[in-house]
Amino acid sequence: MKKVVLTAALIIGLMIVMLAVSCKSGPKDMDERYKNLYDANTGLDLTGAGTYTVKEGDTLSDISRHAYNDGFYYPIIMLASRGVVINPDKIRPGMTLTIPDLERNKANAASRRSMKNCLNGFASIEKTKQNPNQGLINGFRKHADEL
């Protein structure tokens, strides 16, 4: 009987630990990390920015690829669309995104700094995920270094 009680206690304890770990970097925490990143980087020039309304099946990297011929710039679209979309995994049809003029922002020192910080921030956030995508991390860092 003691073995059954001890085994049950051990199983319950492990389940509590697993739940705590999975909640630690859960969706709310990720949303907060992205929000803090956007709040810290407000220097984009939105002069001449376009808009795009998300359709069923769209991904931010697809939208970025269409707008900039490069899927790694989607954090810049999110930065320009603050208040509309916080987490890249939570876009929905009907959202209207702001598509900043990338070249205009690359030519502006303050905008370039915000974009660089944003891309590096996305790399850092990706690194903390349970299954980080090293390709994304490297891509964001490479693009930030090129700014």
DSSP codes joined into one string, 87-145: STT---TT-EEEE--HHHHHTSHHHHHHHHHHHHHHHHHHHHSSS--HHHHHHHHHHHH
| pLDDT tens, residue by residue, 85-143 | 888 989 999 999 999 999 999 999 999 999 999 999 999 999 999 999 999 999 999 99
| pLDDT tens, residue by residue, 10-65 | 455 444 444 344 444 445 687 888 888 777 767 899 999 999 999 999 999 999 99
Kind and range of the H or E run holding 96? strand 96-99
* Residue 51 main-chain phi, psi, to 5 deg: -130, 160
Closest CA to 68 of 36, 108, 97: 97
